[in-house]
């Protein structure tokens, strides 16, 4: 019959190992997640700014096309 190892002894051996290995691993995962989140936010803000610029250009073009000054003008 194999010897029975109480679960608390396994915990006593595994806890320091998990502390040494797990803590830096978890810290790295969290740092990467935060950096990725900030990068996605920055990309979304830039995309929103580009959409606003395009919208402003289209609106200005439409207003210029409706302007009474440009109705009779010819393009060179």
pLDDT tens, position by position, 26-44: 999 999 999 999 999 999 9
Place of tokens 């290995």: 21
The answer to whether 70 and 64 have CB atoms below 8 angstroms apart is yes
The answer to whether 57 and 49 have CB atoms below 8 angstroms apart is no
Question: Could you say which DSSP state residue 72 is in?
Answer: S
Please check the confidence at residue 72 and state whether its pLDDT lies above 90: no
The model's confidence at residue 2, banded by pLDDT at 50, 70 and 90, is low
Which pLDDT score, from 0 to 100, does residue 69 have? 67
Domain assignments of the chain as residue spans, ordered by start: 33-65
Which pLDDT score, from 0 to 100, does residue 50 have? 97
């Amino acid at each position: 019959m194999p010897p029975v190892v109480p679960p608390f002894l396994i915990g006593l051996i595994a806890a320091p190992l998990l502390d040494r290995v797990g803590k830096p691993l978890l810290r790295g995962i969290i740092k990467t997640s935060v950096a990725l989140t900030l990068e996605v936010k920055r990309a979304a803000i830039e995309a929103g700014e580009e959409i606003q610029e395009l919208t402003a250009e289209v609106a200005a073009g439409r207003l210029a096309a409706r302007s009474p000054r440009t109705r009779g003008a010819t393009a060179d």
